[in-house]
Every structure is written in C-alpha cells, then in structure tokens.
C-alpha cells in the first residue's frame, strides 16, 4: 500500500500505467540492491541502483509500503555510515536517506530506531565539512557541512531514548575552552540535535544538556565560531522544545549572555561618537562580518522568543530589561558596529515573533516534524501586546539613526503584521517631521525608502488607512523642494500601486488629479528646476502614478491624461525634448496595454525622438523610444502585432513607414534590428520593400541583411526560383557596395535545377556591374617606378565578375585610398582590421568555381567565356595598374608590415588557396572531359587552370622567382592540396604555370632527402627538356 503519492502524479490522466511502472521500478531497485550487496559490487552495481532509487524518490516519492520504507532506511543508513565505503557511495546514500526521511509524518519515533554512534564516527572521519574535498578517481567531490547536518537532523528523532546521556558522556571530556578540540566538539554538539522523548523528565533535560552549554558559553571568546555554535545549539533546543522545558530559572543568565554577545562598548558614554572599546573574557575581541553578525542575532532572537511560555511573563520581562539596556546605544548621534547589533537584534526579534505567531495561528508543522506544540503553549494576546509595545519604541528610534532606515522599514513591515492600527498613528507623528526637516537632506532618500515600504504594508494590512495617509502626505507636495517632492511622489506611488479597482482610486483621482497634473506640468516646463538633474528624482514616481491612473482609472481619467500628454508634447511653451522624454518613458512602461487611439501618436513621438541628434539626453531618448517601438510591435503574438504596428504606421502614409524603419535602423538598441527584419519580411509581400530601397542607406540596411539573406534562401527553395523583387534587391545591394549581402545571389547559383536561363543571365549581369564598380574602388594607385606596359597585360573586358565576401573582412588601408564616398562605404562594410585579409582577385576565383559549376550544368558556355574574360582583366595587370601594385594586392601586405614571406610561412597566404583552386579546376576538367566531349567547356577550364598560375608569372626576375618558390615551399609543405595537384598536372595547358608548380612540389619533396627518388619518379612524366635547370630544386 503506497504511503504517499506525489500530488502531480494524481493529475495524470492515465494513472494505472504509472502505478504499474512504479511497482516494477521499485521491485527492480530492491532486487538490484540486494544482488549488488550479495556480490560486493559496490562501485558499479550498488551505485547504479542508488542513483535509480534517488530518481524514483524524485518522481514517485514514497509510493511503496511501510515495510519497504523501513528496510530502505536501514540499508541506506548502514552504508552511509560505513567508513570502508567510497565517498561517492556515502554521498549517494546520504541523498537517498534524506529523501526517505523527508516525509516523517509517515513514520513515528516508535517505528524506527537508529544508532547515533555511526553518524558521530562519520562526522569524526570528515573533520571539517566546510572544506572537505575528496578525490574520487579523476574527480573531486565536496561534502558540505549543511548537507551532512540536514541528514543528521532528519535522523535524530529516531535515536535511542538515552542518546542524550551517551552523547554528552562522549563529548564532555573534550568540551573545555582550553582544549584545542573545543571548536570541533562544539560542532559535533550542534550536529547531533537530540529529540527528547516524553519519557525524559525536564530536570534531566536541563542537567544533561542546557547546563553544560550555559557553562561553556561564558568561557568562550566573544565573536568566535565557538560562541556561534553554542548559541545555535541552545537556540535549537529552546526553539524546538519550549513547551517541554521550563526556562525561567535560566532566563537571567540567557539575557546576560545575549547582552555579552552583542559586544556593546565598555567605558564610553552611550551617545559618544568615539569608536567602541570591545572587551571579552579573554582580553581581546574578534571582528564579525555583517552576515555573521546578522546570523548570530537571529539565533539569539530565536532563543529569547522560544523561551516565552504562556501563563508566565518572566521571559517577556527579561526581554524588556534587555531592550532597556541597549536602548541608550540607539541615540541618533551614535554610529558604529554596536548599533548594527542592536538594529539586527530588534529586527530578528520581530521576525521570530511573527513567525511563531504565524505557525501557531495557521497550525503549521514545527521543526520537530512528528509533533506539534499544544495549544496551551501558544503565546497569549497579552504577551503579544506587551512584546509589541516593547519593540515599538526601539523600532521608532531607528528612524533617527543614520544608515539604519532600511532596518526600520523591515521592522515597520513586521509591526504592521502584528498590530497596524496603533503603529500607523504613531508613524504619522514620527515620519512627517522627519520628512519635513530640511536640516538632513542626505537622509531623505532613506526615509523615502522606509515610507514606501510602510505604505505598502499599510495598503496590504490596513487598506482603510490609505486615504488618511494620502491626506497627510498632501502638505509634502511642495514645488520649491524637489527632493521632498520626489519623496512624496514615491510614497503616493507605493500607495496607489496596490489599490484595487474600488472607490479608493476614484477618491484619490478626485483628490490628486489637479495637483499631480500641475506638478507634471511644472516638471516638464523649462522653468524652475525642470531643466536640472534634481527633477529626475520626481519624474520616475510621477510616471508610475500616471501608469496606475491610466491602467486602473476610468475612461474619463484616461481621456484627460492622454489629452494632457498631447498638449505637453505639442505645445510651443514647453521643452520638446523633456516632454517627449517623459511621455515616452511613461508609454514604454505600459505599451502592451495602450489604447488603440493613442498608438499612432506614440509612434510619431517615438520616431521623432529617435531622429533627433546630439547630446547624452538623445542617447537616453533612443533607448526609451526603441523600447516603446519594440513593446508595441513585439507582444505575445509577433505576427499579428507586427501587422498592427504596420497598420498604425500606414495611417500617416508610406513616408511615415519609411521614417519608422529608418529610425529603427538608426537606434542603438539591437532589438530594433530584429524588429526591422520582421517588418521587411511583412512588407516584402506587399510590394512596399522595393519602394523603400532609396530611403535607406547601406549602413542601415546592413542590420537586416543577414535576416533577409536567410529569408530569400528559404523563399527560393519554396518557390523554385527567385522572384523579380529579390533580384532587384540584390542589384540594389550591389549598387550600395554591400559585400556580404551580394552572396545572397551567389547562393542561388547552387540551385542549378531550379534556375532558368533568364534568371542566370540577370544574376551574371548584376554581379558583373558590381564587380566593375568595386574593382575601381579597390585598385591601388599606379607606381611610377614600374613599367605601365606589360607583355602579360590583357585588354580590359566589359564583363567583370563580382567579388563576394562571406564575412566581410576589412582589406588593407592602402587598398582604399581611392574612390571617395564609395571607398568610405566599402570601409564601413568590410568589418574589422583584426579579421583575415583576403585578396579581391582570390575572392573572384572562389565565386567563379561556384558560377562555373552552375553554368556548366545549364550548358551556357558563352556566359562562362564572358566571365573568364572578366576574370582575366581583373587578375592580370592592366595599363593603369602596375606590376608592383598588383603584387602588393596579391601579397596582402601594408607598407608598414614585415616581409610577406614571413606571413606566408604562418600559413595564412593565398598560395595554398591557389593550389586548392587548381585542384578543384583540375577535378572539374576531368569530370567534364567525358560527358561533354563536344563542348568547349574543357578548353575554358584549361584556360582557368592557366589563370590560377598567372599571378606567379608577373615576377620578372629570377630572384623574385626564388622568393615565390620559397614562399610556396613554406605554404604547401606537407599539405594535401599540393600533392593532389600532381595527379592533374597533365591537364595544365600553360607550360609555364606547370613548370612553377612542379618546382614548388619538388622543393617540398626535397625538404626530406630520403624522398629524392620518389620526386624523380613523380616529375619524370612532366619534365620539360627545354626549361632551364632547377638549381637547388633539381633532383
């Protein structure tokens, strides 16, 4: 019979298969654990089934019988405390044991008995859990103190009845302040909390446990870990068993220890500004961090609140005496570490009191899971009222304490949960003078935070007090003091934020509408302090007030505010930028719920602000306006809202839509680039995209190029051919020198089975026009020292092919010296200097490989022949480009760079890419020789193979030839493309190119002298008897 079924599994539609699966799973786990234990397979089999058990408990919880539950607990506890096991097995059993003991309502202490000594031995085995890192193979496993402590806390209720005496007998001999093991033994004492069973008397409990701790605490040094451990142990004891133990005889001693742990100054006046002198029983003090101080005060507060028993006011009286002792140190002129302890103690006392009252009121389970405190142990109303009055006075003193207003805000929130009525009356008396006081303007922000939190608590616990509080805040709305005005607006903001749709909001609107509008008008004007930075503190809460009034107010209130906003933004008497900033910040906050009538006006204001230029305020405006545009266009349903956004933009015509897109692309917010992509996708189907081309510059369109590129590729696959608009788009990008986007059209060339002849001709024409313009920009200036005429020069062609950059790297700066605006556009589009530099002519060859394959599949040899002529004109130096300048482009170097041969040796030169292209062309030549015997394509490919080697023929001297050969030797040494070219040397018609390649390959082979015979064998079929000796390269 299952003990507990997971609540989520009850809502599964098919419950029967789930039950069958759980039964089969737990049966397999039990059998697997037994079998692994029988065969001593702990590292593989046993660990596997422990992981399966943890997974089962996470999914099904205790979906098995009570007998199985007890057997699994005993098995996990046995293997967890077995010191001979690996640490990984111990951790797995620890997790499983914690999950098995988590739901302790299924087990009573009489159902199970566990021995505490194996757990204590395990704790001694891992002495310091906070830094225990255990090596398991190649992995490091960390066992945390909290992980071990939570497992021990779950197991402690099932210890033997006389476990208290046995534990103290074991630890008492070493529980001495002079012992080096005192801290370790204190940690063990806190680790093994003993659950006192009903058979143990109260006197025995005090003798066995409480008195030793009360004895050791005064002997420990102040501020040490030992003090915190002893306080934690005693606090757990008092908090968990406050109804079973009479703590009245020990209250005086407890309060003195608490006062001692607070480390209040000795020998100084309470209101002194001097730093405190901390004294301890051992003559020195120990500094605690703020977090450690807060945790210790929490333990001490739990100790004091847990000691309260019904029918006796002794604990309440002692708490009152303690508060009277620390009250002088909360003087407003005081500052120091001791004030932190006092403020933390007051806050923790209120927190623990609220938690105990909440548990008693709602019947929540206590820390001891298998029992609940009886109703006779609950705090009475008189005790609650007495504690409330005691803590109220110190809490109000924190209002005047510098730096502790946040603590006062937390205390105020807790006090409102206890008794909001008297507290609010007192709060108005204390808070209003502090806000009106102008002698401490630096504390106004802290008081504002406290007032806002208190106002939130008032709305939550006493909503009938909202309107009186608003009336009391009304005098603070003074235009002459911007900080006080900001404080009042923030308080109003917190108050109306939680007001529901009832008469309170209508009453507030009637009371504050004229006043708030007057304040807003004053802040938005150029007079007064409206133009100063101090007005920013009042604008933020003002916007949220408007937001709540618009969202929760009536239609009349909305119409009044919207009309007022339009007047502020359009009026000539107001500052346009300030008004637009305030209005846009307001609408950006709730643009998802804007009325449909105001959306076009909001878009108009947003794009007008985005179009503004200059100043840091404009940068802020761009962020606000871009957020507004994004929130309007990107709501839950992206497509429908984008359509709505476009419709709203089209109200003012297509010029307004182009204006919106232009502003979106100019904004600094990157999210608007995504918005622009979505808008272009929507507009392309309506024919509006082509009309927007002239209105966008190349830098703006670059933001949406990649998104448009992916979309065009998808559209091509689905429509089986590119549309006319797409080809116009690519042509427009080519005219704008958008290099990355030109690859859009080149990717269409791969779809050889869907392109028609007219589309291919249009692509070639578009790319040719782009290449011709780009080459004019990229051509370096001629070198007068070079001969302008060259025997290898070819006449310029009318059919140049385009350049395609996949990632847009930036070329060297000397390539962009000419071209004017076009060069500037290219400089913008070609990326960063740190990326890989590529030669334009090499990129032409990359593009041509793809284009040649596409044209060869369609048998359009005349187009290919025209393209070859264009490549020849670009690759070979012409009349206006000298040989040296061409080599500079080929070598990819600036004048300030080091020798280009060193760059070639690093493996980033064009030689390897040339050889790879040669291999590709040779393979293409061998493929086209047989199926197209009657075609001119093999001859054209032969010309291309010669063209690959043509740049090396521009070298005029033998020394330069040696340099080129040396560079190629460094580049192709040991690489596959160089060797692959040997098999295709027979197809190279240009003998000079074949000779250079042979010498390069021979140089590579001769780098290893053992390969000379192999090189001779390889080069024998292609040796030229007319060529000169190869010098050092000759085999």
Q: Choose the final residue of a domain: 106, 125, 159.
A: 159
Range ranked top by mean pLDDT from 498-512, 788-802, 1014-1028: 498-512
Residue range 715-738: mean pLDDT, rounded: 47
* Token pair recorded at residue 58: 């996470």
- Going 123 to 124 to 128 to 132, the CA torsion angle's sign is negative
Distance (Å, whole) CA 580 – CA 570 = 9
E strand or H helix at 142, and its extent?
strand 139-143
Q: How far is CA 136 from the centre of its chain?
A: 32
pLDDT bin (cut points 50, 70, 90) of residue 814 is very low
Asked if residue 289 belongs to a domain, the reply is: no
pLDDT bin (cut points 50, 70, 90) of residue 930 is very low
Residue range 756-781: mean pLDDT, rounded: 53
Asked if residue 264 belongs to a domain, the reply is: no
| Chain segment 595-626, per-residue pLDDT in tens | 566 666 666 666 666 555 443 444 444 555 56
Asked if residue 933 belongs to a domain, the reply is: yes
**Residue 141, beta-bridge partner list:** 134
- Rounded to two decimals, what is the model's pTM? 0.43
**Structural contact between residues 543 and 492, judged by C-beta atoms closer than 8 angstroms:** no
**Structural contact between residues 892 and 913, judged by C-beta atoms closer than 8 angstroms:** no
| Chain segment 186-208, per-residue pLDDT in tens | 666 666 655 544 455 555 555 56
Q: What distances in angstroms separate CA 26 from CA 2, 4, 14, 17, 765, one per listed residue?
A: 12, 14, 19, 14, 73
- Going 964 to 969 to 971 to 975, the CA torsion angle's sign is positive
Asked if residue 607 belongs to a domain, the reply is: yes
pLDDT for 266 beyond 70? no
pLDDT bin (cut points 50, 70, 90) of residue 636 is very low
Hunting for tokens 């080929």 — which residue is that? 890
Asked if residue 360 belongs to a domain, the reply is: no
Q: Choose the final residue of a domain: 658, 675, 696.
A: 696
Which of 795, 746, 740 is CA-nearest to residue 767?
Answer: 746
Distance (Å, whole) CA 107 – CA 66 = 8
pLDDT for the residue 967: 38
Between residues 1025 and 281, which one has the greater pLDDT? 1025
Q: How far is CA 196 from the centre of its chain?
A: 48
pLDDT bin (cut points 50, 70, 90) of residue 1018 is very low
Distance (Å, whole) CA 984 – CA 987 = 6
Q: What distances in angstroms separate CA 899 from CA 47, 343, 826, 902, 971, one per listed residue?
A: 63, 72, 27, 6, 15
pLDDT for 500 beyond 50? no
pLDDT for 113 beyond 80? yes
pLDDT for 9 beyond 80? no
Asked if residue 928 belongs to a domain, the reply is: yes
Distance (Å, whole) CA 948 – CA 442 = 76
pLDDT bin (cut points 50, 70, 90) of residue 644 is low
pLDDT for the residue 432: 62
Distance (Å, whole) CA 723 – CA 731 = 13
Between residues 490 and 989, which one has the greater pLDDT? 490
pLDDT for the residue 659: 60
| Chain segment 523-554, per-residue pLDDT in tens | 555 443 333 444 444 555 665 666 666 555 56
Q: In terms of DSSP bridges, do strands 139-143 and 132-136 run parallel, antiparallel, or are they unpaired?
A: antiparallel
The 3-state secondary structure of 442-472 reads HHHHHHHHHHHHHHHHHHHHCHHHHHHHHHH
| Chain segment 226-253, per-residue pLDDT in tens | 666 667 667 666 665 555 666 677 777 7
**Burial class (CB within 10 angstroms; exposed 0-12, middle 13-18, buried 19+) of 788:** middle
Which of 42, 36, 140 is CA-nearest to residue 90?
Answer: 42
**Residue 139, beta-bridge partner list:** 136
DSSP 8-class letter at 652: G
The mean-pLDDT minimum among 342-346, 762-766, 984-988 falls in: 984-988
pLDDT for 36 beyond 60? yes
Asked if residue 98 belongs to a domain, the reply is: yes
**Burial class (CB within 10 angstroms; exposed 0-12, middle 13-18, buried 19+) of 720:** exposed
Asked if residue 243 belongs to a domain, the reply is: no
Residue range 452-467: mean pLDDT, rounded: 62
Q: Cβ–Cβ contacts within 10 Å for residue 436, how many?
A: 12
Question: What whole-number percentage of the chain has pLDDT above 90?
Answer: 0
pLDDT bin (cut points 50, 70, 90) of residue 747 is low
pLDDT for the residue 707: 46
Average pLDDT for the chain: 58
pLDDT for 98 beyond 80? yes
How many domains in the chain? 3
pLDDT for 478 beyond 50? yes
| Chain segment 368-424, per-residue pLDDT in tens | 433 455 566 677 778 877 887 787 777 776 665 555 555 666 676 677 666 666 666
pLDDT for 749 beyond 60? no
pLDDT bin (cut points 50, 70, 90) of residue 961 is very low
- Going 359 to 360 to 366 to 372, the CA torsion angle's sign is negative
| Chain segment 38-96, per-residue pLDDT in tens | 888 887 788 888 888 888 888 777 778 888 888 889 999 988 888 888 777 888 888 88
pLDDT bin (cut points 50, 70, 90) of residue 459 is low
What b/e readout covers 831-855, taking b as 16+ CB neighbours within 10 angstroms?
Answer: beeeeebbbbbbbbbbbbeebbebb
In DSSP notation, 671-708 reads: HHHHHHHHHHHHHHTTT-TGGGGGGS-HHHHHHHHHHH
| Chain segment 698-707, per-residue pLDDT in tens | 455 555 554 4
Between residues 923 and 319, which one has the greater pLDDT? 319
pLDDT for the residue 770: 53
Helix axes 576-589, 555-570, angle to 10 degrees: 150
Q: Choose the final residue of a domain: 159, 194, 224.
A: 159
Q: Residue 635: give the domain boundaries.
A: 595-696
The 3-state secondary structure of 286-297 reads CCCCHHHHHHHH
Q: Cβ–Cβ contacts within 10 Å for residue 655, how many?
A: 9
Between residues 426 and 406, which one has the greater pLDDT? 426
């Amino acid at each position: 019979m299952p003990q507990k079924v997971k609540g989520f599994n009850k809502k599964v539609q098919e419950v029967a298969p789930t039950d069958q699966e759980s039964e089969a799973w737990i049966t397999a786990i039990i059998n697997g654990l037994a079998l692994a234990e029988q065969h001593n397979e702990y590292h593989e089999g046993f660990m596997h089934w422990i992981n399966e058990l943890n997974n089962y408990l996470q999914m099904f919880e205790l979906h098995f019988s009570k007998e199985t539950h007890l057997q699994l607990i005993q098995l996990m506890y046995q293997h967890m405390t077995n010191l001979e096991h690996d640490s990984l097995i111990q951790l797995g059993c620890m997790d499983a044991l914690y999950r098995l003991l988590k739901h302790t309502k299924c087990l009573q202490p009489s159902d199970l008995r566990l021995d505490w000594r194996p757990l204590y031995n395990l704790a001694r085995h891992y002495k310091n859990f906070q830094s225990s890192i255990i090596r398991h193979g190649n992995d490091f496993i960390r066992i945390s103190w909290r992980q071990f402590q939570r497992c021990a806390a779950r197991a402690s209720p099932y210890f033997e009845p006389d476990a208290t005496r046995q534990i103290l007998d074991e630890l008492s001999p070493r529980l001495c302040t002079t012992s080096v093991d005192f801290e370790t033994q204190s940690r063990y004492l806190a680790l093994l909390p003993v659950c006192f069973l009903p058979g143990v008397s109260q006197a025995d409990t005090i003798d066995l446990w409480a008195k030793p701790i009360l004895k050791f605490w005064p002997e420990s040094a102040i501020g040490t870990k030992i003090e915190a451990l002893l306080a934690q142990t005693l606090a757990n004891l008092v908090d968990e068993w406050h109804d079973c133990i009479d703590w009245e005889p020990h209250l005086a001693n407890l309060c003195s220890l608490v006062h001692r742990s607070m480390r209040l100054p000795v020998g100084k006046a309470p209101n002194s500004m001097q730093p405190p002198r901390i004294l301890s029983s051992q003559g020195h003090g120990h500094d605690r961090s703020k977090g450690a101080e807060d945790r210790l005060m929490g333990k001490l507060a739990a100790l004091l609140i847990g000691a309260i028993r019904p029918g006796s006011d002794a604990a309440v009286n002692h708490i009152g005496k303690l508060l009277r002792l620390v009250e002088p140190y909360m003087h407003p002129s005081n500052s120091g570490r001791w004030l932190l302890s006092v403020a933390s103690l007051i806050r923790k006392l209120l927190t623990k009191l609220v938690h105990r009252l909440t548990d008693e009121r709602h019947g929540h389970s206590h820390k001891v899971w298998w029992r609940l405190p009886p109703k006779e142990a609950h705090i009475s109303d008189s005790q609650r009222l007495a504690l409330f009055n005691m803590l109220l006075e110190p809490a109000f003193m924190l209002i005047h304490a510098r730096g502790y207003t946040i603590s006062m805000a937390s205390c105020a929130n807790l006090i409102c949960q206890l008794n909001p009525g008297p507290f609010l009356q007192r709060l108005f008396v204390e808070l209003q003078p502090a806000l009106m006081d102008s002698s401490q303007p630096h504390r106004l922000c802290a008081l504002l935070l406290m007032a806002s939190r208190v106002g939130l608590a008032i709305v939550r616990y006493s909503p009938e007090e909202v309107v009186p509080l608003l009336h009391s805040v009304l005098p603070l709305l003074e235009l002459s003091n911007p900080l006080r005005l900001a404080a009042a607006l923030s308080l109003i903001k917190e108050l109306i934020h939680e007001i529901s749709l009832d008469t309170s909001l209508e009453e507030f609107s009637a009371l504050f509408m004229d006043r708030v509008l007057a304040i807003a008008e004053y802040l938005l004007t150029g007079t007064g302090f409206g133009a100063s930075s101090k007005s920013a503190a009042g604008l933020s809460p003002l916007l949220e007030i408007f937001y709540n009034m618009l969202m929760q107010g009536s239609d009349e209130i909305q119409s009044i505010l919207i009309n007022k906003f339009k007047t502020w933004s359009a009026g000539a008497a107001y500052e346009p930028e300030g008004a637009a900033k305030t209005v846009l910040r307001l609408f950006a906050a709730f643009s998802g719920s804007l009325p449909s009538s105001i959306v076009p006006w909001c878009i108009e204001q947003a794009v007008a602000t985005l179009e503004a230029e200059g100043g840091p305020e404009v940068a802020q405006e761009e962020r606000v306006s871009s957020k507004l545009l994004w929130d309007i266009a990107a709501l839950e349903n992206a497509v429908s809202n984008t359509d709505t956004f476009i419709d709203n933009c089209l109200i003012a015509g297509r010029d307004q839509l182009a204006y919106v897109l232009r502003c979106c692309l100019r904004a600094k917010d990157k999210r608007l680039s995504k918005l622009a992509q979505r808008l272009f996708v929507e507009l392309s189907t309506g024919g509006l995209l082509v009309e927007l081309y002239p209105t966008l510059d190349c830098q703006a369109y670059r933001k949406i190029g990649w998104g448009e590129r992916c979309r065009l590729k998808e559209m091509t696959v689905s429509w089986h051919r590119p549309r006319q608009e797409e080809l116009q788009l690519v042509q427009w990008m080519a005219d704008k020198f958008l290099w990355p986007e030109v690859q859009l059209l080149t990717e269409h060339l791969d779809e050889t089975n869907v392109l028609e002849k007219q589309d291919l001709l249009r692509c070639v024409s578009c790319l040719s026009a782009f290449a011709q313009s780009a080459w004019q920009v990229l051509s370096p200036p001629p070198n007068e020292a070079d001969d302008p005429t060259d025997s290898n020069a070819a006449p310029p062609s009318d059919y140049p092919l385009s350049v395609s950059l996949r990632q847009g790297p930036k070329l060297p700066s000397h390539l962009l010296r000419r071209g004017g605006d076009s060069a500037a556009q290219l400089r913008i589009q070609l990326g960063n200097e740190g990326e890989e530099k590529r030669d334009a002519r090499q990129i032409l060859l990359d593009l041509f490989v793809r284009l040649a394959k596409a044209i060869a599949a369609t048998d359009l040899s005349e187009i290919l022949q025209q393209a070859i002529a264009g490549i020849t004109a670009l690759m070979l130096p012409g009349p206006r480009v000298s040989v040296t300048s061409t080599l500079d482009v080929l070598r990819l170097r600036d004048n300030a760079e080091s020798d280009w041969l060193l760059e070639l040796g690093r493996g980033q030169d064009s030689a390897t890419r040339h050889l790879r292209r040669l291999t590709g062309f040779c393979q293409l030549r061998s493929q086209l020789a047989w199926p197209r015997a009657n075609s001119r394509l093999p001859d054209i490919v032969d010309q291309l193979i010669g063209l690959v080697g043509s740049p090396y023929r521009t070298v005029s001297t033998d020394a330069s030839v040696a340099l080129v050969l040396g560079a190629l030797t460094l580049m192709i040494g040991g690489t596959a493309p160089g060797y692959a070219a040997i098999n295709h040397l027979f197809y190279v018609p240009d003998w000079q190119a074949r000779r250079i390649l042979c010498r390069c390959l021979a140089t590579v082979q001769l780098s290893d002298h053992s390969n000379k015979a192999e090189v001779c064998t390889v080069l024998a079929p292609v040796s030229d008897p007319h060529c000169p000796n190869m010098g050092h390269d000759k085999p």
